[in-house]
């Protein structure tokens, strides 16, 4: 795909290929890995604005970053404009110049609380949230879906509202809330939103290869793409999309394991890296046997030993 920088407020990214916020996965070591492989901007896991307001340590742990990572955007969720603004002004978000408001999460618990994709049904509240968050002085962006279901597609109008409220960029997941992560991406709805606004539009959904990214750009006219699940199976998809040199899966895994051990306790390292290894070997010959051994491993050294066995002859 054609690479170009994206200007978001007064910040400019190195390219137009972004890593999506992925709950449970886009922690500091994983974001750092994707940055190294070419991602132009990476997002934190979705963080609760209420959690920040009430000083939740678990919430703050999701926001760890340092100078080795590169510029990162934080994504927050909630439904109370004042609490969301307070979150933007919280010291935990000080390292993040860009704050993204989640208006697309389809998870029932989030939706029933009036958060995430529920805001698609309350555009006035969504506007007020963005207006209030802009007062924090942060660059505010919004990620949302094309609607709740196929009978209620609101993409272009919602995009105009977000721009009017002060958002500096919007990311559109080209599926409805009801489709979650399955089904075809609706290119026409993203294209309609792109035609409706002047701020940059990032298209999200179904990017698993360079061909997928090119098609998404060509069909929608979007300014860039956001990669989600594909990055879990292979973070080096960013190498393919940005012409960044790749390395072996073993070297990739060792790098991620090292960075995870530097900032997380051993128990988290073991649980998290077992999950990541399982993603990386999906479809590989003998994957089921290796996966069984991985999930029995109790130390990082055991996991590394199995990884070396899996990929030493790659």
**3-state SS of 136-173?**
CCCEEEEEEECECCCCCECHHHHHHHHHHHCCCEEEEE
Task: Give catalytic residues, as residue numbers.
Answer: 105
Tell me the average pLDDT across 38-65: 91
- The token pair that represents 273 in the structure block: 């890296």
Q: Residues of 83-113 as b/e, b for ≥16 C-beta within 10 angstroms? A: bbbbbbbbebbeebbbbbbbbbbbeeebbee
Q: Does domain 7-242 have CATH number 1.10.1330.10?
A: no
CB-based contacts of 314, cutoff 8 Å, min separation 6? 248, 249, 250
User: For residue 200, what are its two tokens?
Assistant: 């940059």
What radius of gyration, in Å, describes the C-alpha atoms of the chain?
Answer: 19
pTM: 0.95
More confident residue, 67 or 134: 134
- Exposed/middle/buried for residue 55 (C-beta within 10 Å: 0-12, 13-18, 19+): exposed
Between CA 21 and CA 47 the distance in angstroms is 10
**DSSP single-letter state for residue 20:** P
Q: What is residue 180's predicted lDDT score, i.e. its pLDDT?
A: 87
Q: On the CB side of 43, how many CA atoms lie within 13 Å of its CA? A: 27
Confidence of residue 285 (pLDDT cuts 50, 70, 90): confident
**In 3D, which of 106, 58, 55, 110 has the Cα closest to residue 79?**
110
Q: If pLDDT is split at 50, 70 and 90, which confidence band does 303 have? A: very high
pLDDT at 274 over 70: yes
pLDDT at 71: 83
Is there a contact between 192 and 155 (Cβ–Cβ < 8 Å)?
yes
- Structural element, H or E, at residue 70: none
Give me the pLDDT at residue 283, please.
Answer: 86
Q: Where are the beta strands (DSSP E) in 49-138?
A: 72-77, 98-103
Two structure tokens written together for 259: 């960075």
Q: Do residues 6 and 39 touch, judged by C-beta distance below 8 A? A: no
Torsion, Cα of 289, 294, 298, 299 (10° steps): 130
Q: Which of 17, 25, 8, 10 shows the shortest CA–CA distance to 41?
A: 17
* Contact criterion met (CB below 8 Å) for 220 and 212: no
CA separation for the pair 223, 202 (Å, rounded): 6
Indicate if the pLDDT at residue 53 is higher than 90: no
Compute the distance between CA of residue 66 and CA of residue 123 in angstroms, rounded to an integer: 35
What is the structure's pLDDT at 181? 84
Q: How confident is residue 217, by pLDDT bands cut at 50, 70 and 90? A: very high
**Residue 54 pLDDT more than 90?**
no
Q: Where are the domains of the chain?
A: 7-242, 249-311
Taking alpha carbons only, the member of 33, 69, 62 closest to residue 256 is 33
**N-terminal to C-terminal alpha carbon distance within the chain:** 28
Using CA atoms, how far apart are residues 34 and 259, in angstroms rounded to an integer?
A: 12
Share above pLDDT 70 across residues of the chain, in percent, rounded to a whole number: 99
């Amino acid at each position: 795909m054609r690479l170009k920088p994206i200007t978001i407020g007064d910040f400019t990214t190195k390219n137009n290929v972004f890593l999506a916020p992925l709950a449970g996965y886009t922690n500091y070591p994983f974001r750092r890995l994707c940055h190294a492989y070419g991602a132009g901007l990476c997002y934190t896991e979705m963080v609760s604005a209420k959690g920040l307001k009430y000083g939740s340590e678990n919430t703050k742990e999701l926001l760890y970053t340092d100078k080795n990572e590169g510029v990162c955007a934080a994504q927050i969720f909630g439904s109370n404009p004042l609490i969301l603004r307070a979150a933007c002004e919280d010291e935990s978000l000080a390292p993040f110049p860009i704050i993204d408001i989640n208006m697309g999460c389809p998870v029932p618990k989030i939706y029933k609380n009036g958060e995430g994709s529920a805001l698609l049904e309350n555009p006035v509240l969504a506007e007020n949230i963005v207006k209030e968050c802009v007062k924090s002085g942060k660059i505010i962006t919004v990620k949302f879906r094309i609607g709740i279901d196929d009978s209620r597609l609101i993409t272009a109008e919602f995009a105009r509202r977000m721009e009017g409220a002060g958002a500096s960029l919007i990311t559109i997941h080209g599926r409805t809330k009801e489709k979650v992560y399955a089904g075809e991406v609706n290119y026409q709805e993203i294209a309609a939103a792109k035609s409706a606004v002047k701020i940059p539009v990032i298209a999200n959904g179904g990017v698993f290869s360079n061909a997928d990214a090119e098609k998404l750009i060509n069909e929608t006219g979007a300014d860039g793409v956001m990669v989600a699940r594909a990055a879990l199976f292979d973070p080096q998809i960013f190498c393919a999309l940005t012409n960044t040199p790749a390395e072996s899966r073993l070297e990739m895994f060792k790098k991620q394991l090292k960075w995870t051990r530097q900032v997380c306790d051993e128990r988290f390292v073991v649980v998290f890296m077992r999950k990541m290894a399982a993603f990386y070997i999906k479809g590989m010959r003998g994957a089921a046997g290796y996966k069984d051994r991985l999930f029995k491993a109790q130390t990082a050294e055991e996991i590394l030993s199995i990884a070396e066995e899996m990929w030493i002859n790659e």
